[in-house]
A and B are shown apart, each in its own frame.
Chain A
Amino acid sequence: MKICKVFHSRATPEQINSLTRSVAEFLQEWIEDSDLIYDFRLVLSEACTNVMLHAYGPEAKGELEIHIQIDPWKRIRMEVRDNGPPFDGPDETVCSDPQDEFGRGLFIISRLVDSFGYQHDQGQNTLSMERRIEESAWKV
């Protein structure tokens, strides 16, 4: 039995923070490990910020969706969706030079999930990420 939930927001810094906190609260109903919750929130923060900065532009306040799919005692899948134009996609996950102020979002995502992918279909971008969760991290 999989549990699915969809969160909606606008791509602004304030609403992204509120959105990722809401997702973290939802995940806390299932996951015991607070470090893991932090990782998920960080991954979503990076993905949503990328949507704001690159899909829409910082002033556009475009629509954002987060789809959470929980496969209890096995894995969690997250999808971040937006209606911005297509882009080249996450084909590089190289860590930035230390002096670079930007460009670490995708690298952080790649380090905290087991797999991720991007697609553009019918006017929608989807960044999907999945992480296996060991049994001990779940709430009984």
Chain B
Amino acid sequence: MESMKVDKKGQACILRYSGELTLEVIDSLKDQVEEYLSGSECMSLVMDLSKTVFLDSSGIGFLVHINNRKTTKNKEFYLLAPSPQVHKTLSLVKLIDFFNILEDEDEIPSGSE
């Protein structure tokens, strides 16, 4: 069952997504994430993908969308601990080096720098 929970750590919002990241969910997710991109609650968005078990090109497009939006919204965007499935799919489409990837929550920047 797909779900997203949000935690705060300093000025970072951690979006913890569980389940499959596919076309079925991305429209709704984009709306949810846009609130955090446009708001002043956080300076950086961290997408926790450790429990994301399936990622297709629609899900990839969603991640790219956020990454593109972060620049216009003057925010940072990170992927946190991508699952093996996510890591494999991002590598397949040569995006593993495109995103800022954190392996551990301790690496999340604590504030604006």
Give chain B nearest CB distance to A59 CB in angstroms. 13
Residue of A nearest to B26 (CB): A13
Q: Are B60 and A104 in contact (CB-based, < 8 A)?
A: yes
Q: Are A38 and B85 in contact (CB-based, < 8 A)?
A: yes
Main secondary structure of the interface of B (DSSP, over half): helix
Cβ-defined partner of A99 (8 Å) among B58, B64, B85, B88: B64
Q: Are A17 and B20 in contact (CB-based, < 8 A)?
A: yes
| Count of CB-CB pairs between chains A and B under 8 Å | 56
CB 8 Å contact bits of A94-113 with B (1 = contact, 0 = none): 01101111101101100110
Chain A interface, number of residues (Cβ within 8 angstroms): 25
The complex places the Cα of A112 from the Cα of B20 at a distance, in Å, of: 19
Given contacts A46-B56, A101-B65, 17 further A-B contacts (CB under 8 A): A13-B23, A13-B24, A16-B23, A17-B24, A38-B85, A45-B22, A46-B57, A49-B57, A49-B58, A95-B94, A96-B93, A101-B61, A101-B64, A101-B68, A104-B60, A105-B57, A108-B92
A-B residue pairs, 7 tightest by C-beta:
A13-B24, A101-B61, A104-B57, A13-B23, A98-B98, A45-B56, A105-B57
